């Protein structure tokens, strides 16, 4: 299973950043993760207006994500 790992920073303080994880369905594989990530990123950004997405990657889910 994969997760989208978003690195986001405070809009008012770009030096203050944190990683956030969005687990994806087991049907999503590493070949199409970036395509599936886009709507999740848009929704996440809408739900977190004070944060700016600096970057994101797709990674396997770890124990930290559960």
Q: How far is CA 35 from the centre of its chain?
A: 13
For residue 26, the model assigns a pLDDT of: 82
Phi-psi bin for 21: left (phi > 0), alpha (psi -120 to 50), beta? Answer: beta
User: Residue 64's pLDDT band (boundaries 50, 70, 90)?
Assistant: low
What pLDDT score was predicted for residue 27? Answer: 84
Bridge partners, residue 60, by sequence: 2
Span 24-63, pLDDT tens digits = 888 888 888 888 899 999 999 999 999 999 999 999 987 6
* Residue 65: band (very low, low, confident or very high) from pLDDT cuts 50, 70, 90: low
The domain segmentation of the chain, as residue ranges, is 1-22+49-66
Q: Tokens in use for 58?
A: 């797709």
pLDDT at 5 over 60: yes
pLDDT at 30: 85
């Amino acid at each position: 299973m994969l997760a989208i790992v978003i690195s986001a920073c405070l809009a008012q303080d770009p030096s203050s950043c944190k990683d956030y994880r969005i687990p994806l369905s087991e049907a999503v594989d590493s070949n199409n993760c970036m395509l599936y990530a886009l709507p999740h990123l848009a929704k996440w950004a809408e739900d977190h207006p004070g944060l700016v997405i600096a970057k994101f990657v797709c990674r396997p889910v770890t124990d930290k994500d559960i």
